[in-house]
């Protein structure tokens, strides 16, 4: 199938400082910070280092609150119920630590969940005696199947359901609104729902305030051009007084969200520079960027899949695309990590690799700095590397 590459956005590649000798095809992992955002953060660091005491002691809380309002508006969240945190995994860990779980409780996730979240759930279960239940969802499933798999995994002991909006390992969009509505219809408010939306800001319009979930967390440093270490945790009104920070600092007795945001000598410049990232994204055109990225990701996937003879599922409209690897290749996490490093070292290409249900999958991302030749380079070198 011929999927043509989209026209590049004029001048977009010049907005970044990445190494042009490398094919950067894993934007979904750590993002790519535009030069304008780098400079904005550097100016903030210079201000901080010129007079650290004044930077931290005079007006910083108000500046953080201003940024929070700006970022919350971007995702449609209530700014008074939203806190800035380091990343989506941190937000999830805060939720897990605030529920008061015990031996009679269960946490439900899906087998598409993010690995670090699974580790946090496992640690919580060891500490509290709670039980972790995993809903199995097929790689290619319609919305009704996904909703049913989650709802049917809930029992009378379930206290928390964690669902991804965009899955990291498998690059699928889950119907979180349908899941929330189905859980509410069957279990009411008894079961709390946490949406892991790490990849959503910049990709989708989540309208967090209308979602009806108890908790929502999303990264701004992946697809919204913020400096790394910038994410949001949004909490429904009924839970805000129960949220506890992972690290206790001077504002531990303050109300949410201030109790989470003040962690002493944290480098707040990433948060303060985040609105510049949104400015860059909006200047390019949010809808235009999304269309470009989705089309380029699908083009790249077809080029690489054809090169290794892989069949791929239907396009998802995301800027991340999945390619199944031959059976036995990268079939476990250690092998996937090793192969990713070989691709980086030998092909000068950065990709995502995961092992899911005993099968290795290559995940390709696309953003405005990518070109078709980035994927062609991978397609030319990958077949020989896989044979070796």
Closest of 385, 359, 223 to residue 304, by C-alpha? 385
Q: Considering the chain, what percentage of its residues have pLDDT values greater than 70?
A: 99
Residue 267 to residue 120: CA distance in whole angstroms:
24
pLDDT at 294 over 90: yes
Note every long-range contact of 235-240, with CB atoms under 8 Å and residues 24 or more positions apart, other chains counting. 235/81, 235/82, 235/83, 236/81, 237/81, 238/189, 238/214, 239/98, 239/192, 239/214, 239/215, 240/81
Q: Which pLDDT belongs to residue 2?
A: 58
- CA distances in angstroms from 10 to 14, 20, 279, 282, listed in the order given: 9, 17, 17, 15
Q: Considering the chain, what percentage of its residues have pLDDT values greater than 90?
A: 94
Q: What are the pLDDT digits (tens) for 137-195?
A: 999 999 999 999 999 999 999 999 999 999 999 999 999 999 999 999 999 999 999 99
Q: What are the pLDDT digits (tens) for 88-107?
A: 999 999 999 999 999 999 99
pLDDT at 3 over 90: no
Q: What is the mean pLDDT of the chain?
A: 96
The confidence band for 265, taking pLDDT boundaries of 50, 70 and 90, is confident
Q: What are the pLDDT digits (tens) for 214-243?
A: 999 999 999 999 999 999 999 999 999 999
Q: Which pLDDT belongs to residue 73?
A: 98
pLDDT at 82 over 60: yes
Residue 212 to residue 63: CA distance in whole angstroms:
29
SS3 state at 356: strand
Residue 167 to residue 50: CA distance in whole angstroms:
42
Domains of the chain: 12-32+285-387 (3.90.1150.10), 38-279 (3.40.640.10)
Residue 323 near residue 361 (C-beta atoms within 8 A)? yes
pLDDT at 352 over 80: yes
pLDDT at 1 over 60: no
């Amino acid at each position: 199938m011929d999927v043509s590459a989209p026209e590049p956005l004029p001048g977009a590649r010049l907005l970044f400082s990445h190494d042009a000798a490398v094919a950067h095809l894993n934007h979904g992992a750590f993002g790519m910070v535009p030069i304008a955002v780098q400079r904005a953060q550097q100016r903030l660091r210079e201000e901080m280092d010129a007079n650290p005491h004044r930077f931290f002691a005079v007006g910083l809380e108000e500046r953080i609150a201003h940024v929070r309002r700006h970022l919350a508006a971007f995702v449609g969240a209530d700014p008074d119920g939203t806190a800035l945190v380091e990343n989506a995994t941190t937000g999830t860990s805060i939720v897990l630590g605030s529920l008061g779980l015990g031996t009679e409780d269960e946490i439900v996730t899906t087998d598409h969940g993010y690995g670090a979240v699974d580790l946090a759930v496992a640690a919580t279960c060891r500490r509290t005696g709670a039980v972790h239940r995993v809903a199995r969802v097929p790689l290619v499933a319609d919305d009704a199947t996904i909703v049913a798999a989650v709802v049917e995994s809930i029992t009378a002991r379930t206290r928390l359901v964690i669902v991804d909006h965009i899955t990291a390992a498998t690059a699928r969009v889950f119907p979180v609104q349908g899941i929330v509505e189905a859980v509410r219809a069957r279990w009411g408010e008894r079961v709390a729902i946490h949406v892991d939306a790490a990849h959503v800001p910049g990709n989708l319009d989540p309208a967090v305030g209308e979602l009806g979930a108890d908790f929502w967390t999303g990264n701004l440093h992946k697809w919204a051009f913020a400096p790394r270490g910038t994410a949001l945790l949004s909490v429904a009104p009924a839970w805000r007084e129960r949220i506890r920070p992972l690290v206790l600092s001077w504002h531990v007795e303050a109300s949410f969200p201030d109790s989470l945001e003040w962690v002493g000598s944290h480098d707040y410049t990433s948060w303060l520079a985040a609105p510049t990232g949104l400015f860059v994204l909006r200047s390019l055109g949010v809808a235009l960027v999304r269309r470009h990225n989705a089309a380029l990701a699908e083009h790249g996937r077809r080029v690489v899949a054809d090169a290794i003879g892989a069949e791929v599922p239907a396009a998802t409209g995301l800027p991340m695309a999945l390619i199944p690897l031959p059976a036995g290749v990268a079939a476990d996490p250690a092998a996937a990590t090793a192969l990713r490093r070989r691709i980086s070292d030998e092909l000068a290409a950065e990709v995502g690799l995961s092992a899911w249900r005993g099968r290795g999958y290559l995940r390709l991302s696309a953003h405005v700095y990518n070109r078709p030749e980035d994927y062609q380079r991978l397609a030319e070198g990958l077949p020989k590397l896989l044979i070796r």
